[in-house]
Amino acid sequence: MRDLGAGFGYLVKGQRWVTGHGRSLGVGLLPGLVTLVLYAAALTGLAYGADDFVGWATPFADGWSSPWLSLFRGFLTALVFAFGLFLAVITFTAVTLLVGQPFYEKLSEDVDRAESGGDAPESGLPLWRELWISARDSVRVLTRVVLYGILLFALGFLPVVGQTVVPAIGFCVSGFFLTEELTAVALQRRGVELAERLALLRTRRLLVLGFGVPLTLAFLVPFVAVFLMPGAVAGATLMVRDLREETPASPEPEPEPESTGGLTTA
């Protein structure tokens, strides 16, 4: 249980770190704002076009009498929009990280330098290669999330368990993979591949859940994800240093005064 508190502690520390570094906070907000505008435009278009899409996809219902036609297509329209909203929620972090790769990588490097006394791991890869690896790994992670989502959706029809235990498991799964996406910023610079990242996170599941589950719940509130993303990246970098047992920088010891025959020289 201590790891749960420690995981949440890294989330708080990350928010404090960016609050104390205003420039990093400002730069870190830009990708989230850009992604938010793109998603808002896409969802607005979906809201206006979902009924037309449903009408085009269900020509067999054109001859149905009222109210069955409006009820049927109204239900499908709501389902299409809900599915689009679900996709927006589960992909927002991955897309934001992809859009803001250079910004978040710089933020993560700044955290590493602050903690290590000026040194930060570097991948040595060109930007296009880093973007490709990030996009490829995000697709792999999202595939896993969708598969878990389908399984949990099916289990949700079980009486009692489906309405209590299954949603809790769903938040844990979302929190785990959200943490993977965020820690990938720091771990990719360290040359750690996706399979190794997942294995590393599994060694401290409670720590990971303590970080990811509260963040997942917070991300359900509109606009919160945009403002928490910079601190989440900073906190994930701090957690990576713990997972990899990278010690923080220690202050340089002051030189001892020279001694000559029992006398010290200033």
Which DSSP string do the residues of 229-258 spell out, in sequence order?
HHHHHHHHHHHHHHHTTPPPP-PPPPPPPP
* Residue among 27, 3, 49, 34 at smallest CA distance from 105: 27
Indicate the DSSP class of residue 118: S
130-168 pLDDT tens trace? 878 888 888 888 888 888 888 887 887 778 777 788 888
User: 188 near 134, Cβ under 8 Å?
Assistant: yes
Considering the entire predicted model, what is its pTM?
0.76
Say what the pLDDT of residue 59 is. Answer: 84
pLDDT score, position 236 = 94
pLDDT in the model for residue 207: 93
Q: How much is the pLDDT for 211?
A: 94
CB 180 within 8 A of CB 198: yes
pLDDT at 210: 93
Task: Give the pLDDT of residue 264.
Answer: 45
* Burial (CB count <10 Å: 0-12, 13-18, 19+), residue 97: buried
Residue appearing with tokens 């601190």: 231
**According to the model, what pLDDT value does residue 104 have?**
87
Residues of the chain below pLDDT 70: 222, 247-266
pLDDT at residue 72 in the model: 83
